[in-house]
């Protein structure tokens, strides 16, 4: 099976498995797991922040961040199709008691002016706006990159209005590789950043929330409250550390394969795609002659797995497990399936 459903399908490499097998472990809730501690120290330094905390998933790091920045009844500002709002099970309302002020975006990107115009006057009728959230890269728009200059402009508005700024960086590493920006430079404007190890980097489990020592101490309490306190987590943390140390730069191969697939689909009868919108490792395209679900079923019979994301929309995500040759085979299978 050529699995292009997501970059979450990646499997640990043999070298990563050896690192996990050899990992020293302890009780992470008690602060005794040396492998977790090493991962947290390394990632915090990589992003230029004081501290980090390891958690089972990116949804948890995002939701713990929201709870750490806000109080029930507050409001957060984010893009209308942000993962935090769209795919995290109503977490902002259920776990933090906050409402979401949604901004329209172009490829997941919104402006500082849009943030400023969304802010409500201080009045008992309105919730207090506490937090702005940015997603980089943006999942639903196809892995689009949030430009650093726009982020800096938004951060300035946040500072002027006493707002915190959080990044959902589930595919932050992809944004760094695609732009050539260092993680430290890209993370600098943010109060907290969530980064994921189990997507393109290929680790089996986990994300980290990174920020100031004070904010991460607060997050540690909410991680425990939300059920994310782990014990001998060093086994999986070692895989995450290996991933970020050894499989970061290779994300460029996934981006190249995504462009390779997009260009093969361009001009294909029954397919609509704009390769210029493929900025990282997610390829979104439309099928015109059949429903997306029909094409997905046909492709599965040919050994290619993709996801339908709309009546005629399909998503393919290049990843560690897929080679150049398999991209070509997938493109040929798509051409047959849409005829």
User: Do 236 and 255 share a structural domain?
Assistant: no
Instruction: Please tell me the distance from the alpha carbon of residue 255 to that of residue 235, in angstroms, as a whole number.
Output: 29
Whether residues 315 and 196 share a domain: the answer is no
Tokens representing residue 35 in the block = 């492998």
Measured in whole angstroms, how far is the alpha carbon of residue 278 from the centre of its chain?
A: 16
Q: Does residue 148 lie within any of the structural domains?
A: yes
Same domain for 254 and 241: no
Q: Is there a domain that residue 162 lies in?
A: yes
Kindly state whether residue 290 falls inside one of the protein's structural domains: yes
Residue 4 domain-assigned (yes or no): no
Instruction: Outline where DSSP puts E strands in 44-191.
Output: 51-55, 75-79, 99-103, 129-135, 164-169
Q: In degrees rounded to 5, what are phi and psi of residue 193?
A: -135, 135
Residue 339's pLDDT is what? 86
Domains in the chain, number? 2
Question: In a structure prediction context, what are the per-residue pLDDT tens digits for the chain, which is 339 residues long?
Answer: 999 999 999 999 999 999 999 999 999 999 999 999 999 999 999 999 999 999 999 999 999 999 999 999 999 999 999 999 999 999 999 999 999 999 999 999 999 999 999 999 989 999 999 999 999 999 999 999 999 999 999 999 999 999 999 999 999 999 999 999 999 999 999 999 999 999 999 999 999 999 999 999 999 999 999 999 999 999 999 999 999 999 999 999 999 999 999 999 999 999 999 999 999 999 999 999 999 999 999 999 999 999 999 999 999 999 999 999 999 999 999 999 998
Domain, as residue range, for 77? 11-246
Main-chain phi, psi angles of 281, to 5 degrees: -120, 10
Each residue of 238-276: pLDDT tens digit? 999 999 999 999 999 999 999 999 999 999 999 999 999
Strand pairing class (307-308; 313-317): antiparallel
- Clarify whether residues 329 and 219 are in a common domain: no
Q: Is residue 59 part of a domain?
A: yes
| Residue 77 sits in the same domain as residue 202 | yes
Domain boundary residue among 197, 219, 246? 246
Give the pTM.
Answer: 0.96
Strand pairing class (207-211; 51-55) = antiparallel
Within-domain flag for 2: no
108 & 201 share domain: yes
CATH number at residue 197: 3.40.640.10
Q: 305 with 191, same domain?
A: no
Could you give the CA distance from residue 112 to residue 118 in angstroms, rounded to a whole number? 10
Inter-axis angle of helices 14-21 and 234-246, nearest 10: 140
- With tokens 């997501």, the residue in question is 6
Residues 233, 103 within the same domain: yes
**Domain end residue (candidates: 229, 246, 263):** 246
Name the domain boundary from 221, 246, 271: 246
Instruction: State the number of CA atoms in the 13 A half-sphere of 279 facing the CB.
Output: 25
Dist. CA 329–CA 24, nearest whole Å? 42
Q: What is the pLDDT of residue 246?
A: 97
Check whether residue 33 and residue 134 sit in a common domain. yes
Residues 180 and 287 in one domain: no
Residue 1 in any domain: the answer is no
- Domain membership flag for residue 3: no
Q: Which residues contact 62 (CB under 8 A, 6 or more apart)?
A: 83, 84, 88, 91, 133, 166, 168, 194
Residues 117 and 211 in one domain: yes
267: CATH: 3.90.1150.10
Whether residues 283 and 211 fall in one domain? no
């Amino acid at each position: 099976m050529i699995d292009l459903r997501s970059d979450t399908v990646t499997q640990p490499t043999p070298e990563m498995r050896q690192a996990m097998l050899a990992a020293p472990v302890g009780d992470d809730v008690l602060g005794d797991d040396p492998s977790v501690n090493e991962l947290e120290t390394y990632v915090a330094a990589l992003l230029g922040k004081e501290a980090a905390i390891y958690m089972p998933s990116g949804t948890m790091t995002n939701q713990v961040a929201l709870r750490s920045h806000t109080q029930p009844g507050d409001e957060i500002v984010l893009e209308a199709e942000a993962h935090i709002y769209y795919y995290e099970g109503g977490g902002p309302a259920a776990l933090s008691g906050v409402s979401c002020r949604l901004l329209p975006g172009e490829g997941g990107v919104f402006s500082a002016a849009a943030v400023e115009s969304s802010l409500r006057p201080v009045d008992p009728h309105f919730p207090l706006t506490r937090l702005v959230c940015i997603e980089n890269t943006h999942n639903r728009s196809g892995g689009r990159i949030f430009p650093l200059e726009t982020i800096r402009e938004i951060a300035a508005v946040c500072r002027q209005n006493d707002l915190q700024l959080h990044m959902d960086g589930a595919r932050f590493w992809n944004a760094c590789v695609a732009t050539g920006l260092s993680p430290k430079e890209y993370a600098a404007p943010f109060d907290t950043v969530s980064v994921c190890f189990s997507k393109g980097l290929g680790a089996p489990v986990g994300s980290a929330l990174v920020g100031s020592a004070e904010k991460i101490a607060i997050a540690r309490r909410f991680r425990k409250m939300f059920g994310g306190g782990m014990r001998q987590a060093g086994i999986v943390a070692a895989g995450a550390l290996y991933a970020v140390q050894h499989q970061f730069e290779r994300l460029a191969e996934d981006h190249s394969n995504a462009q390779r697939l997009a260009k093969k689909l361009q001009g294909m009868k029954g397919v609509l795609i704009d390769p210029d919108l493929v900025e990282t490792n997610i390829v979104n395209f439309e099928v015109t002659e059949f429903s997306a679900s029909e094409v997905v079923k046909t492709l599965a019979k040919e050994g290619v797995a993709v996801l339908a994301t709309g009546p005629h929309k399909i998503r393919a995500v290049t990843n560690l497990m897929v080679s150049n040759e398999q991209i070509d085979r997938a493109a040929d299978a798509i051409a047959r399936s849409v005829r």
